[in-house]
Amino acid sequence: IANFYFLIIFLVQVSPDTPTSPITSGLPLFFVITVTAIKQGYEDWLRHKADNEVNGAPVFVVRSGSLVQTRSKNIRVGDIVRVAKDETFPADLVLLSSDRAEGTCHITTASLDGETNLKTHYAVPETAVSQSVSRLESLQAVVECQQPEADLYRFVGRITVTQQGEEIVRPLGSENLLLRGARLKNTKEIFGVAVYTGMESKMALNYKCKSQKRSAVEKSMNTFLIIYLGILLFEAILSTILKYAWQAENKWDEPFYNQKTDQERNSSQILKFISDFLAFLVLYNFIIPISLYVTVELQKFLGSFFIGWDLDLYHEESDQKAQVNTSDLNEELGQVEYVFTDKTGTLTENEMQFRECSINGIKYQEINGKLVPEGMTEDSPDGSEELFLKAVSLCHTVQISYDQTDGPGDPFSHANGFSPQMEYYASSPDEKALVERYLMTFCLSLGEKVLFTKGAESAVLPYTTSGEIDKTRVHVDEFALKGLRTLVVACRHFSADEYQEVDRRLHEARTALQQREERLVEVFNFIEKDLELLGATGVEDKLQDKVQETIESLRLAGIKVWVLTGDKHETAVSVSLSCGHFHRTMNILELVQQKSDRECAEQLRRLARRYNTLAHPFCEISSPRVSKDHVIQHGLVVDGASLSLALREHEKLFMEVCKNCSAVLCCRMAPLQKAKVVRLLKTSPEKPITLAIGDGANDVSMIQEAHVGIGIMGKEGRQAVRNSDYAIARFKFLAKLLLVHGHFYYIRIATLVQYFFYKNVCFITPQFLYQFFCLFSQQTLYDSVYLTLYNICFTSLPILVYSLFEQLVHPHVLQSKPALYRDISKNSLLSFKTFLYWTFLGFCHAFVFFFGSYILMGEDTTLMGNGQVSVSPASLPSSLLFSYSRSCVSVAGLLLC
């Protein structure tokens, strides 16, 4: 918008009768656009280069009975593609075969969803045997699948294989699909048929432009520009009116030195008025600083390097330094009012260690690598205990990776899972911790059909009908109170007839092309019922270093911390207490397990009344409004289901309770719910500045939704880091990032913006005042060189250096006294009051510059009443205007710089 404004001014200046040269606006505009074009052109060239690397990557396809090398962009639907170990898939492929006899392969999807665990994918038995190019060439099959869609985890299709004149139909699901961008691991090679290519692949369909985030400073700057545009229009209109008022006297209408032509005398008065207005507009247009945008961009770009260079934000163990992905939000780090943080991997290490378990109602603890029961029990395990251990050992997605070793050795060591080079990969750290503990404990064999299931107690316990349900539930709550992550294990035995029925119904549901998900859910509900409860596990996830100190610093800085986690209620509360998010003396309010809108609304009203009663015990409560209290601190716990009800019809009441609690904990949260909570606060009437921090792919939505998104370089891939504005290695670095860097960035850019408007007022107001002394003839006070270079060189470089290195308070003081962060909150340095102060100061100094220079000339120059200039050669070396304009610029430049 600003560039468009200066383009209009430049076009006006091109007209013949304007007071200043077009170069005065054209050159700065050309400079600004050139710098922007070079920057964006370079970034576009990098994207083009990266595109060529992907599109031109060599791939092998099966053509005419042999492998032919081609480029990735040449793959078409129906091509059979060969992918080797550690290569990425160039298109969405249905797995046909691998070098493994069973037709399986392992992949990692870190580039898609941020998960670094290995995932197993399968080929149908009829194609798994086609492990050579010749057999693939003779393969006769038809693949039918749904139209391309963006869902990474959903794929519906089927393959019809023709063998010896017989057609065999097999279902295809997400476990058969290899997504473009994923990487092949632990498998020598695979063959797959391309089903989605190019922009129809799931990865391409998930491309979306990142929403443009604008800082509060930028919004204030735009508001100031509009105000200054109003000042510009006012000065131009006033000068035009005064010109015609002055020319109402005949002696000033046509002075001897400016006689009008016949064309000027006969021209339209309206056109003359418009022409004069545009001329004054051009004369005063430099009150709006075109170089402000360039200087701000340079300050943000160069200033962002200080974050990466800060050794206090460097994590030596992982060799990771802080990373800036968006320099446009540097100053926003100094304005944060709410921090929304994930728990696992962000507040905790995401390194799980097995601690306790409950088997058949008996609690066990791990002591020195052994399971020690609580109380007296039999030495030999009974059937339930053995089933529990079998379930934990079998019901998982863990894959074992090991380096091949040459030379003699035990030929069965790898097969049995015993290898010194062995490494476990799992879909969740919980499973990895359990399998490492149990996998090598028993030689497993099952002679019957048994279903094992493992999951959260809220998902498993409702379907259990036998076992020590009550005791296990008590143990699960005890584990959660200790801050342990819990999983419940159950099983179901099938007879031969039941198993045949289950297998038939599953096959029908899986081969259906219409409503496959609904039919599968129906079958799974039929299978997962009448479960026998076997036990529960408790796994510890340790807190990261200095988490408690960091949260306390944020609280002292006036920042409210909300923890958003998918963990169960008891676990989340326990971790909140241990990390200092909740205090032991804090009054905890709960909004959990709400079943209906009415029940939820009544609970919210009770919470509001309870809050007011505690805060003001001698006051009668007449409304459910929650009052802010500075003596008794309150914390709120809400779960995902209750949150959905609260936000449906009682959003205002819910926000009233939340805003007056010093800490809020949301548990059992889905990824989209996290983003919804952030949006709720972000769009509230107060419009607070929000920050979201997380480490996993499930945190991406809230990171993108918040004003500032920070990714933790954790163990759940780089999806959060890639989608964030800033990335740090540990949660503890957040304190310095906000309290020090945020504080510095905000003060620097606030001063920069205010100074730019101030100096332009000082520069242009004398031009306005000068019109009173030249009969509003639109004469310029400054030479064109000064008009061009004043903003670009004379006054922009000193403030740029200041805005890069100024430290109003020592960093150690800012960290030791977090309350100083409150002094710059609510965009205080760019408030309207402060803006008026700087503007008033600019006008005052402009009057001093103008009339001070006028008085300094004294009796040496005289502007005669008839407009003639009286010059004494002995006292003046040049004309009045030249001497006067140079003196004004000299005084102004000296005071400003």
Contact 352, 433 (CB under 8 A): yes
The DSSP output letter for 43 is H
- Adjacent-strand bridge partners of 484: 540
The answer on whether 566 is annotated among ligand-binding residues is yes
Count CB atoms within 10 A of the CB of residue 237.
14
Count CB atoms within 10 A of the CB of residue 431.
22
Listed in sequence order, the residues at least 6 apart from 866 whose beta carbon sits closer than 8 Å to its beta carbon are 255, 256
Q: How far apart are the C-alpha atoms of 221 and 288, rounded to whole Å?
A: 11
Nearest to 781 by CA among 895, 866, 891, 896: 891
Q: What is the DSSP string of 714-775?
A: -SS-SHHHHTSSEEESSTTHHHHIIIIIIHHHHHHHHHHHHHHHHHHHHHHHHHHHHGGGTT
- Tokens 């031109």 correspond to 56
Please report which helix (H) or strand (E) contains residue 798, including its range.
helix 796-805
Residue in 342, 541, 639, 725 annotated catalytic = 342
Q: Let me know if 381 is exposed, middle or buried by CB neighbors in 10 A (0-12, 13-18, 19+).
A: middle
CA distances from 94 to 48, 87, 88, 190, 356 (A): 29, 16, 14, 10, 42
Q: How far apart are the C-alpha atoms of 180 and 197, rounded to whole Å?
A: 8
Please report which helix (H) or strand (E) contains residue 519, including its range.
helix 516-527
Nearest to 828 by CA among 746, 735, 748, 739: 746
The DSSP output letter for 193 is E
The answer on whether 567 is annotated among ligand-binding residues is yes
The answer on whether 699 is annotated among ligand-binding residues is yes
Q: How far apart are the C-alpha atoms of 139 and 161, rounded to whole Å?
A: 8
Q: How far apart are the C-alpha atoms of 190 and 105, rounded to whole Å?
A: 8
The answer on whether 565 is annotated among ligand-binding residues is yes
Contact 391, 489 (CB under 8 A): yes
Listed in sequence order, the residues at least 6 apart from 253 whose beta carbon sits closer than 8 Å to its beta carbon are 247
The answer on whether 334 is annotated among ligand-binding residues is no
Q: Let me know if 435 is exposed, middle or buried by CB neighbors in 10 A (0-12, 13-18, 19+).
A: buried
Contact 607, 679 (CB under 8 A): no
Q: Is 342 a catalytic residue?
A: yes
The answer on whether 342 is annotated among ligand-binding residues is yes
Please report which helix (H) or strand (E) contains residue 430, including its range.
helix 429-438
Assign 160 to helix, strand or coil: strand
Nearest to 25 by CA among 3, 48, 42: 3
Q: What is the DSSP string of 449-514?
A: EEEEEEE-HHHHGGGEEESSHHHHHHHHHHHHHTTEEEEEEEEEEE-HHHHHHHHHHHHHHHH-SS
The answer on whether 151 is annotated among ligand-binding residues is no
The answer on whether 674 is annotated among ligand-binding residues is yes
Contact 669, 676 (CB under 8 A): no
Q: What is the DSSP string of 108-151?
A: EEHHHHSEEEEEEEE--HHHHT--SHHHHHT--EEEEEPPP-S-
- Tokens 């030596």 correspond to 316
Q: How far apart are the C-alpha atoms of 734 and 556, rounded to whole Å?
A: 14
Where in 621-701 does DSSP place strands (E)?
634-639, 663-667, 690-694
Q: How far apart are the C-alpha atoms of 879 and 386, rounded to whole Å?
A: 106
Could you list the active site residues? 342
Q: Please report, in range form, the residues annotated as the binding site for Mg(2+).
A: 342, 344, 695, 699
Q: Please report, in range form, the residues annotated as the binding site.
A: 342-344, 431, 454, 485, 565-567, 668, 674, 695, 698-699
